[in-house]
Amino acid sequence: MKKLIFAGIACLSLLSGACSDIDDSQDNNKFVICPGFGDEPWEDAQPLAKIASNNIDKSNGFASSLFKTVYEGEKGNVCVSPISVFSTFAMMANGDEGESRDEILDILGYSNGPGGLHELDIYCNALMTEVPMLNGDTQCGFTNSIWYHPDLKLLPKFASDIRLIFGGSLFPIYLGDEAGKSKLNEFVSLYTNGMIPEFLSNPLNVKLAFLNTTYFKGKWKTEFNKNLTHKGVFCNIDGSRSEASFMNLNDDLIYCEAEGIRGVCLPYSGDRYTMTLLQPDDEKGFENMLNSLNTKTLKDLESSATQQGIILKLPKFETEINISMIDYLKQIGFDKVCTRGIHQAANETLFLSQFRHAVKIIVDEEGTEGAAASLAGMDNAAGPGFEPISMVFDNPFVYIIRDTISDAILFIGTVTSF
């Protein structure tokens, strides 16, 4: 039986066509070939599933903490891409050798010091090698890149690590003027298939920026019949009611339940990627469900998973955000993030001054399209036989899009109103 619930966060990147020295033609069934770098080659290659299984528990806390913190601040229909944020901070951890690196490692769930960074880097490299593979009609792509002032001389080791571990590209482009802003926006728009056309609304006066883009497009394994889509009432979180277009599906799907929560899993074509939908047993229990999303609850949901006939009614929806996340990152523990091992000016330290995160999700009868971008700006400033189960998502619910092999979460969000 396939797993239902996500159990991990991933940091990964794949720059399609913009970084010619990165080979993205890995076979999904091969072992991951982790590159050596510096004078210390990495240990034996391992399959992605094994590497991911050793990182699952480390990652769950970060995923739920980030999502719940952003939801509490933004409310409403919210979506974040933990995979994108995680990737950005993983790159940053490679730019410091002291307390800033250890703070990032601790919050991401890894032990302090070079050993924790080494484990994180192997995980990132394994994911970027295998996750962005075409699977059925599903597309998944990632980029990592560094954008820096042309006067900034990057240390060779840092530049090499970004290329080898993250498949990243380096752009000596100043973002503090309209030309730099336009180039970055064009890049983000290109690698999010136009879903995020204007990531930055103003120039970014920073010396260096870490950028991740994430793109996903998947067709349902069993598409919803458009002729069955009908108007219905959605009960908003504030008690009001709105009209929504409800899609209908009657199929054998993976069902799970835990204390106060019911879930259903919708596979995409190829079966590698899935969307998990979670709703509270009690129509007024949405906040309690959010608060209970932790490692134990997710494992309880996974262990209860069974294949059953499901009569599903799900509203079509579209969610879009573009927010500064600095305050939210501080709430989950990021405080001393800086970089000392990036460039050749030994007496200069760059601090995290901005963090922007944008996400757009579209869910309809055919499938799902989603995109995300995360930018960290650095500057000197501081089963069959069962009766069908009816699941009607006409009250606030949570959705999660993940890769079933690595259990990496691509997107997690809420629909609370129409």
> Which of 110, 81, 27, 46 minimizes the C-alpha distance to 192?
81
301 φ, ψ to 5°?
-65, -45
> Which of 211, 168, 179 minimizes the C-alpha distance to 356?
211
Burial 153-182 (b: 16+ CB within 10 A, else e): ebeeebbebbbbbbbbbebebbbeeeebbe
Q: Which two tokens stand for residue 132?
A: 């962005």
Amino acid at 352: L
List the Cα angle 89/351/69 in 5-degree steps: 50
Could you tell me the end-to-end alpha-carbon distance of the chain, in angstroms, rounded to an integer? 35
pLDDT at 339: 59
Amino acid at 296: K
pLDDT at 43: 57
Helices and strands, number each (H, E), in the chain: 10, 16
Over residues 44-95, the pLDDT tens digits come to 566 777 777 777 777 777 888 899 999 999 988 999 999 899 989 999 999 8
Domains of the chain: 48-219+319-379 (3.30.497.10), 226-316+384-415 (2.30.39.10)
Alpha helices in 304-406 (DSSP H): 326-331
pLDDT at 28: 35
Q: Which two tokens stand for residue 61?
A: 């806390």
CA distance 27 to 133: 8
Which residues in the chain come in under a pLDDT of 70? 1-46, 132-136, 336, 338-348, 381-387
176 φ, ψ to 5°?
-85, 10
CA distance 356 to 319: 17
pLDDT at 15: 22
pLDDT at 69: 93
pLDDT at 397: 92
Amino acid at 189: S
pLDDT at 221: 94
Q: Which residues contact 399 (CB under 8 A, 6 or more apart)?
A: 275, 276, 277, 278, 363, 411, 412, 413, 414, 415
Contact yes or no for 264/307 (Cβ under 8 A): no
CA distance 313 to 323: 31
Over residues 341-350, the pLDDT tens digits come to 565 555 567 8
Alpha helices in 75-113 (DSSP H): 82-93, 99-108
- Give the number of other Cβ atoms within 10 Å of residue 411's Cβ: 26
Q: Is residue 222 exposed (0-12), middle (13-18) or buried (19+ Cβ within 10 Å)? A: middle
